Amino acid sequence: MATSAITRATYRVTEETLADMVLEKSEFPSDFQAHQVVREGELDNEQLARNGFVGSTAQRFLEAGRVTGTMRELGPTSNMAMSDGFDFMAASVVHLFDSPESVSRWMHEIFLKDFEDHVGDSVGQGHQLVATNRVETSGFFDESVALHVLQGGPTGLISSTVVDFRLGRLLGVAFIGSIGDHQRPELTMQIGQALEKRMAAVVLGV
């Protein structure tokens, strides 16, 4: 793996710096400007494990090289119609790892593999993971991967389009949640590229 100036600069990043890296609401695409911030702040290994697949543990994530993370998630307001094709959620997340190699392993051995291994399983709140398929990515500085994830639940189908990308020892994640079976690769990558630009600006300013 070629070592670049920006990769070296990510070793100066601290846990406190991460909060400056996630997108502000105003930096999300216009499609989400009427949404509201529903979750934001630190995302440590304990919290990530609680929201992960059955069997996820903070220890597993620690051993995978993940230090901590931060996120900002936008969701619908009460007057929004939750109809088929509506993009109800968008988020940007930044994870800090101990090395770029750990980021790469996470992308392939935890992000992609965990989703693909759990197709058909319950994912809580009456939902089942129905299908996943990999989505082609482009326009990122370094390695990137993406998935379209389909879940079924009491109210029908929900889709997520998720992009993971590496910036040195940082992992950036952008995702969009949609009602029904819909893919949003271009819009999700637009969020991801905006996130990458913000992350790089913070990293180089540290």
* Cα separations in angstroms, 172 against 78, 93, 129, 132, 155: 29, 6, 23, 20, 30
Q: Is the dihedral of CA 98, 99, 100, 101 positive or negative?
A: negative
Whole-model pTM? Answer: 0.94
Place 2 in a pLDDT band, splitting at 50, 70 and 90.
very low
Express each pLDDT in 144-167 by its tens digit: 999 999 999 888 999 999 999 999
CB 145 within 8 A of CB 171: no
